[in-house]
Chain A
Amino acid sequence: MIQARRFGLTDAEHTRIEHVDHLFALGAQSVRELIGAIADSSWTVRRAVVGALAALGEDAVEPLCAWLRDARTSEHAIAAAVDALAGSIGPSTMEAVVALLDDPNPAVVADAAVILGRRRERAAAPRLAKLIEHADDNAAVAAIEALGTIGGTFAVDALIEVIRRKQFFRTYPALQVLARTGDPRVVAPIAELLSDEGFQSEAARALGRTGSALAIGPLAALLAHTGDPIVRLVATALADLTARAEWTGAQVPVAAAIRMMISPSLDRFEAALPGSDTSERLASAKVLGTIGAATSVSVLVTLLDHAETRGAATAAIRQIGALHNDALIDALERGSASTRVALLPIIGSSSAVVRVRGLLADEDPEVRARACEALERIGDTTTLPALFAALADSNPRVSHAATAAIHALGAGSVSSLAMQALRSPASSVRRHALRIITALSLRDAFDEVLVAVEDPDVRIGELAIGALAAMTDARVDPLLVSFADRLEEPLRCATMRAAGHRGGLRMTHILKRGLDDDAAWVRYYACQGIGRGADEGSAHALIGRLADAAPQVRIAAIEALSRLTADTAWQAMTSAVRSADPDEKRAALVGISQSARPEAIPLLLEAAQAPAVATRLIAIAGLASSMDTRALDQLASAARDSTAELCTAALSLLVDRTDWRAVEILVDVALASEFDHPVHVALSRPSAVRIAALAARLDSADDRAAPILAAALSRMGGADAIAALFDALAATSPAARSAVAAALMAIDAAGAREAISLLIQSDPDPAVRRACAAALPDLVSEELSA
C-alpha cells in the first residue's frame, strides 16, 4: 500500500512503517492504534499513518473528527489529522467535517475549513461563506482561504463586504480570493483600497490579478503619486493583468487600454527600470512591450545582457519591432553581442539586409550563425555570395546555418556558386558544397561529384556518394555497386545509405551483402536500407542481426523489422521490447506502434510507465490514435504529468484527435490546472468538436468551471467560437451566463453590449443580472471610443 523509499530511513523508521502497513491491512479494527501513531516523531512515519487513515476511508472519518475535536495533542499531530481527512476517501467525510464548523473551539473550526478547502467541497461553500463573519480571525481567514481554493464566485458579495471593512487580517486573504474570481464586480471595491496606504500595494496587485480592463484606470490613477516604487508597483500589476488577459482572450482590448492610459507615463516606466529587482524588470518589460514605443528599445536592450531578463526583454522588443522596425535595426547597430544575439531572431525585414549581412563578420560565432538565419528569413537572394563565403567559417554552427540558408534561398545562382565552392581548397567548404548539391539534386554536377568521391578527405568522399544517390541518373546504380567493395569503411557506409535511398533489386542485393560486412556501421546502414525498402525477403537475415555484437546494429535490425509484416518480425519486436537496453526497447516500441495490432496496446501501456522520458513519449505517441479506453486514460494521465515534455506531448496528441472524449479530457485537465498550464492553450486550438464540447460543458458549468470554459472559447476566437459564447448567454447554468457575459465584454465582441443589456433586464437570476451590470458600464470602452 504505502511504498516507503528505502533509503534515508533509520531501521526503527522502517520497522514502524512496516507496522503501519500491517495495521492498514487489518482494516477498521486498527483505526484507534493508527490515530495513536499520528503524533510519531518521524515525518516519514506520520506520512505513512496519514496515507493509511485516508485510505481506510469511512472507518476512520468519525474517529479522526472526534480526535480533532477532543484530543489535539500536538501541532504535528493536528496537521497529520487534517491531512488524513483532506485525503480521506470516506463518502461521509464532508458531512462529518461540516459538523465541526459548529464547534465552540475556533481552532477546530479553522481546521475544518482548511479540510473542506483542500477537498474542494463545493457543497460546503455556503457554510464557509457564513464563517467569514466568525468572531475569531483565524477561523474567518481559514474560511476565506478555503473559498479561494474551492474557487468560483459564490461568496463574492460576502468577501467584498470583508474588504470594505478593512480588517487587517481578513482583508488580505479576501483580496487574494476576490482577484481570482474573474467577476467584474470585484474591481471597484478593490480599487477603493488603493487610496489607503496600508492596503495600496496588495490592492494594486489584486487588481492586476483580476485581468480586467476595468482595473487599468484605477492603476493608471496611482501614477499621480511620485516616486519609482509606485511605478514598479503599477508595472507589476499591469504585467499580471496582461498575462491574465491573454488567458481570457482579452489581450487586444486590454493592450489598447494600457496604451491609451499608461503611455503618458512611459518615461517614468523607462526611468524606473534600472533600480528595479528582477521580477519588477520582467514586469516592466512586459508593460513597455505592450505600450510599444520605439524609445523603449534602448532601455530594453540593457536587459538582454542578463539571462533571467533576456526572454522578457526579447519578447517586448519583438512587440515593439512589429511597429518600429527602424528601432530594431538601430539597436542592432549599437548594441552589444548579447543584444545582437537576442535581436537577430526578430529581424525579418528586407530593410535590415545590409546590416545583417555585415554581421557575418561579427566576432561572436552565435551572432554570425543567427545572422545567417536572419538572412534566410529575409529571403534576399543577393546575399547568396556572402552566405557562400560563410561556409568557410571556422565555427560549425555558423557554416551549417549558412548551408541551411542557402538551401532555403535556392535561387538560380546557387548552382554555379556551389560548383565554385566544390573547387575550394578548404575541405570544410567542399563538404558544405556537397550538402547543397545533394539537397538541390544538381545533376549538372555529376562529373565533379564523381571526382570528389576520390577526394583525399574521406568525409568528402562519403558526401559525394550521397550527392550521387540524390541524382536521377542511370550511371549512379552501377557506380554504387562498385563502391560497395571499397576498402574505406566510410565509403562503404555511404554506399549502404545511398543504396537504401535509391531502392530497387540491384540495391537490395548490395544491402544484403552489407549485412555481413566486417564493419559494424556498414551492417548498421545495410539494416536501415533494407528497412527503408521493406524487403520481406530479408526478414530472416535481419533476425540474424539481432544477435550482432554491436548494439547499434541490433537496433537498426529492430527498426528494419518494424517495417515488415511477417509474423517473425512481430515476434522479434515483442521480444526486443523487453530488452534491458533502452534504445533497443524504444526501437521495438516504434515498430509496435506502427503495427496497429490490438496486441500492441498492452505493450505500449506498460512502456508508458517506463522511467525514461523518451520511452514514455514513444509509448504515448503509439497510443495517440487508438480508440481503446485504456489508451485514452493513459493520454489523460500523461497530460497531467509533472514532466513538462510528457505533458506537452500528451496535450498535443489529444489536440490532434477529433473525438469528443479527447476534448473532455482536455477540459478535465484544464479545470484542475492553474491558469498558466499549457492545457489552456491546447484547449483553445480552433476545432468544431472542441467548440461543441466546450459549449455543452458550459451549459451546466458551475461558477468555478464556467470562466475557464468561457475563456477557452474567447481565446479560440473566430466566428463559430464567438457564436457559441453568444448561445451560452441562454445556458441553463446561471454561472455560465455570468461568465460568458463577462467574457464577451472583455473581448469587446460585436453585439455583446446589446445582448448583455437585454440580459440585465430579462435574466431570471438576480446574480446574473448583477454580474452583467458590473461588466457593462465599461469605463475603458467608453474612454476608448471617446
Chain B
Amino acid sequence: MKGELPPQLAAIFEALVEEAAGLHYPDRDQALFASKITAQAAEAGYEALLDYYYRLRYDDEQGVELRALLESLVVHETYFFREIGPLRELVKHLASVVKKRGHARVWSAACSSGEEPLTLAMLLDQADLLDRVEIVASDLSEAAIQRARTGHHRRRTVREPYPAELAAEYLVIGERGVTSSQRLRDHVKFRVLNLLDQEGIEALGQFDAILCRNVLIYFRDSSIARIVDRITRSLNPGGLVAVGVAESLLRFGTSLACEERGGSFFYRSAS
C-alpha cells in the first residue's frame, strides 16, 4: 500500500498519466504516486496493479477509470490571497485594458478549487472593475471545479497572514471550512480543462492576462514548452502571463518578454 512501485511498473503508469494529463512525478514523489495508484486500483476492484493498468489501457473506452485515477493524483495545493502582489499588479494591467477597450478577459489556467480567481475577483471588485472583466477559471479536476462552483473551500485555504478586510467582505471563515461569496462566484466561469488539450484551450478564446501559477512544477520540461506555446497563442497583443514566484519561462525559449511590474515578474506578448 505504500513505498515505491517496481521501476518498470512505475514507468508504465507514469507514461499513462503523462500522456493523459502531462503530470510528471519526479523521484521524490514516487512513494506518494505509488500509494495513490495502489489505493485507486483497489477502489476500482483490482488488487494487482498490472491488471489495473491493462484495464486503463484496453478496457476504458470512455476514460471513466482514467479520470478517476487522475482525480486521485492531482494536487489541490492552493489558498486565498496566495502571492497577492502579482494579482494587484495584474488588476492595474486589466484596468488599463478596460480603459482602452471597455472590457477585458483573464484566464486562471489551473485554478484548483477556485481560490486564485476568486481572490482576483475580490481585487477587481475593490477596483470597481468586476463587471467589466470576464474571469475564466479552469482545472483538470472535475471535483475541484465542482467544489469551486459550490463555494465550499477547505479551512486551510485561508492561511496567516491574510488581508483581513478582504476576507471579511468576501469570505465566511468557519471552524471546518470557508465559504466564498456567491456574488464573486457568479463572476467566474469555471471550466474543466486539460492544459494539454489544444482544442479546448482554443475554444476559450483570447485573453488579456493568463494566470498559470504554481502549476508548471507538476510537468516535465517538454510538456511545459507545449503548454507555454499554447498559452502564448491565447494571449492578446500586449497581454500578460503570470507564473509562480519560483517558476520561470525563460529557459523554454518563449517569445514572451519578461518584465518587472511593481516587484512582480510577468511575461508579456508583443503589442
A743 to chain B, nearest CB (A): 29
Residue from A306, A521, A583 in contact with B57 in the complex, judged by beta carbons closer than 8 Å: A583
CB pair B2 A614 closer than 8 Å: no
- Choose among A278, A306, A401 the residue that contacts B35 (Cβ–Cβ < 8 A): A401
Contact in complex: B72, A397 (CB < 8 Å): yes
Candidates A338, A363, A490, A524; contact of B45 at CB < 8 Å: A490
Q: Is A758 an interface residue (CB 8 A)?
A: no
Listed stretches A418-426, A548-556, A688-696, A747-755; interface member:
A548-556
Task: List residues of chain B with CB within 8 A of the CB of A703.
Answer: none
Give 1 or 0 for each of A279-310: 1 = CB within 8 Å of chain B CB: 00000000000000000000000000111100
A369 to B36, CA, bound (A): 10
Contact with A along B17-61 (1 / 0, CB 8 A): 000000000011000000110111011010100010011011100
**A278 surroundings in chain B (CB, below 8 A):** 246
A interface, by DSSP: helix, strand, loop or mixed? helix
Taking a contact as CB atoms under 8 Å apart, the answer to whether A401 and B2 are in contact is yes
Specify which of A336, A364, A400, A490 lies most central, judged by the most chain B CB atoms within 10 Å of its CB. Answer: A400
Q: How far is the CA of A24 from the CA of B219 in the complex (A)?
A: 40
Residues of chain B within 8 A (CB-CB) of A552 are: 54-55, 57-59
- Find out whether the CB atom of A305 lies under 8 angstroms from the CB atom of B159: yes
Decide if B159 touches A308 in the complex (CB within 8 Å).
Answer: no
B173 within 8 A of A: no
The complex places the Cα of A612 from the Cα of B1 at a distance, in Å, of: 26
14 further contact pairs, Cβ within 8 A, besides A307-B214, A551-B54, A614-B8: A278-B246, A397-B35, A400-B39, A401-B35, A404-B2, A435-B47, A552-B57, A552-B58, A583-B57, A613-B11, A617-B8, A617-B11, A645-B11, A648-B7
The answer to whether B1 touches A403, judged by C-beta atoms less than 8 angstroms apart, is yes
Task: Determine the chain B residues whose CB is within 8 A of the CB of A363 once the complex forms.
Answer: 154-156, 176-177
The residue of chain A having its C-beta at the shortest distance from the C-beta of B54 within the complex is A552
Docked pose: A297 CA to B59 CA in angstroms: 49
A364 and B54 contacting across the interface, CB-CB below 8 Å: no
Interface size class of B (residues with CB under 8 A): 35 or more
**Cβ distance A376 to chain B, nearest Cβ, rounded Å:** 9
Tell me if B97 is interfacial: C-beta within 8 Å of chain A.
no
Contacting residues, chain B, for A337 (C-beta < 8 A): 154-156
With contact pairs A311-B28, A338-B156, A404-B1 given, residues A645 and B7 touching in the complex (Cβ less than 8 Å): yes
Is A555 in contact with B54, judged by CB distance below 8 angstroms? yes
Residue of A nearest to B8 (CB): A617
Residues from chain A with Cβ under 8 Å of B172 in the complex? none
Query: Given A307-B217, A311-B28, A648-B7: A400 and B15 within 8 A (CB)?
Result: no
Q: Do A400 and B54 form a contact, CB below 8 Å, given A338-B156, A614-B12, A617-B11?
A: no
**A645 and B54 in contact, given A311-B28, A336-B156, A466-B47 (Cβ under 8 angstroms):** no
Specify which chain A residues have a CB less than 8 angstroms from the CB of B45 in the assembled complex.
459, 462, 490
B10 at the interface (CB under 8 A from A): yes
Contacts of A338 in B (CB 8 A): 77, 156
Which residues on A sit within 8 Å (CB–CB) of B15? Answer: 612-614
Q: Find out whether the CB atom of A308 lies under 8 angstroms from the CB atom of B38.
A: no
Task: List 13 A-B residue pairs with CB atoms under 8 Å apart, sorted by A's residue number.
Answer: A311-B28, A396-B39, A397-B36, A399-B39, A401-B2, A404-B1, A435-B47, A551-B57, A552-B57, A552-B58, A586-B8, A617-B8, A648-B7
Chain B residues whose C-beta falls within 8 Å of the C-beta of A403 in the assembled complex: 1
Question: Are the C-beta atoms of B40 and A373 separated by less than 8 Å?
Answer: no
Instruction: Give the size category of A's interface with B.
Output: 35 or more
Residues of chain A within 8 A (CB-CB) of B1 are 400-401, 403-404, 407
- CB pair B72 A364 closer than 8 Å: no
- Are A400 and B7 in contact, with the CB atoms below 8 A? no
Determine the distance from Cα of A758 to Cα of B60 in the docked complex, in whole angstroms: 73
Nearest chain A CB to B214 CB, angstrom units: 7
- Cβ of A520 under 8 Å from chain B: yes
A404 vs B34: C-alpha distance when bound (angstroms): 14
CB–CB A649/B35 < 8 A:
no
In this complex, what residue of B is CB-closest to A407? B1
Q: How many interface contacts (CB-CB < 8 Å) are there between A and B?
A: 96
In the complex, A771→B58 CA distance in Å? 65
Q: Does A683 contact B (CB under 8 A)?
A: no
Q: Hey, what's the 0/1 contact readout for B139-163 against A, CB within 8 Å counting as 1?
A: 0000000000000001110010000
Q: Is the interface of B mostly helix, strand, loop or mixed?
A: helix
- Asked whether A307 lies within 8 Å of B35 as measured between CB atoms, the reply is no
Interface: A99 (CB within 8 A): no
A479 to chain B, nearest CB (A): 20
Q: Does A682 touch B at the CB level, under 8 Å?
A: no
- 1/0 per position for A644-675, CB-CB distance to B under 8 A? 11001100000000000000000000000000
> For residue A649, which residue of chain B has the nearest CB?
B7
Provide the residues of chain A in CB contact with B38, threshold 8 Å: 400
Please tell me if A146 contacts chain B, counting CB pairs below 8 Å. Answer: no
As a 0/1 sequence over residues 162 to 181 of chain B, the CB contacts with chain A under 8 angstroms (1 = contact) are 00000000000000110000
Residue among A520, A586, A645 facing the most chain B CB atoms (10 A cut-off): A645
Interface residues of B in 153-211 (CB under 8 A from A): 154-156, 159, 176-177
On chain B, the residues within 8 Å of A644 by CB distance are 27
Chain A residues in 8 Å Cβ range of B35? 369, 397, 400-401
The closest CB in chain A to the CB of B57 belongs to: A583
On whether the beta carbons of B57 and A614 are closer than 8 Å, the reply is no
Given contacts A520-B59, A613-B11, A614-B8, contact A307 B77 (CB under 8 A): yes
Given the complex, which residues of B lie within 8 Å of A400, measured CB to CB?
A: 1, 35, 38-39, 42-43
**Residues in A neighbouring B156, C-beta threshold 8 A:** 336-338, 363-364
The answer for the CA separation of A645 and B38 in the assembled complex, in Å, is 20
| The one of B8, B27, B177 that contacts A618, using a Cβ cutoff of 8 Å | B8
Known pairs A337-B156, A396-B43, A397-B72; A614 contacts B28 (CB<8 A): no
CB of A621 closer than 8 Å to a CB of B: yes
Within B72-91, the residues touching A (CB, 8 Å) are: 72, 77
Taking a contact as CB atoms under 8 Å apart, the answer to whether A308 and B246 are in contact is yes
Of B1, B43, B77, B156, chain A has the most CB atoms within 10 Å of the CB of B1
Q: Which residues of B contact A649 (CB under 8 A)?
A: 7
Within 8 A of A (CB), among B225-256: 246
Q: Mark A601-636, 1 if CB is under 8 A from B, else 0.
A: 000000000001110011001000000000000000
Kindly name the residue among A278, A307, A459, A462 whose own CB sees the greatest number of chain B CB atoms within 10 A: A307
A645 contacts which chain B residues (CB < 8 A)?
A: 7, 10-11
A581 to chain B, nearest CB (A): 9
Find chain A residues with CB under 8 A from B55 CB. 552
Q: Name the CB-closest residue of A to B245.
A: A278
Q: Which of chain B's residues has its CB closest to A431's CB? A: B42
Q: Which residues of A contact B42 (CB under 8 A)?
A: 396, 400, 435
Query: What sequence of 0s and 1s flags, for each residue 538-579 of chain A, a beta carbon within 8 Å of any chain B beta carbon?
Result: 000000000000111001000000000000000000000000
Q: Which residues of A contact B176 (CB under 8 A)?
A: 363
Query: Which residue of chain A has the shortest Cβ distance to B29 in the bound complex?
Result: A311
Contact with B along A728-766 (1 / 0, CB 8 A): 000000000000000000000000000000000000000
By beta carbon, the residue of chain B nearest A402 is B1
* Chain B residue contacts of A614, Cβ below 8 A: 8, 11-12, 15
Query: Which residues of A lie under 8 Å from residue B7 when comparing CB positions?
Result: 617, 645, 648-649
CA distance A551 to B59 in the complex (A): 9
List the 6 shortest-distance A-B pairs measured between CB atoms, nearest first: A404-B1, A614-B11, A400-B39, A552-B54, A396-B43, A337-B156
What is the distance, in angstroms, from B199's C-beta to the closest C-beta of chain A? 22
Which A residue sits closest to B155, measured CB to CB? A363
| Residues in A neighbouring B40, C-beta threshold 8 A | 396
In chain B, what residue has the closest Cβ to A551?
B58
- Given the complex of chains A and B, what is the CA–CA distance between A403 and B35 in angstroms? 12
* Smallest CB gap from B28: residue in A: A311
Q: Which residues of chain A come closer than 8 Å to B177, judged between CB atoms?
A: 363
> Would you give the shortest CB distance from A643 to chain B, in whole angstroms?
10
A337 to B76, CA, bound (A): 12
Mask: chain A, 470-490; 1 = CB below 8 Å from B; 0 = not: 000000000000000000001
Using Cβ atoms and an 8 Å threshold, which residues of chain B touch A551? 54, 57-58
B86 to chain A, nearest CB (A): 15
Inter-chain contacts of A407 with B (CB < 8 A): 1
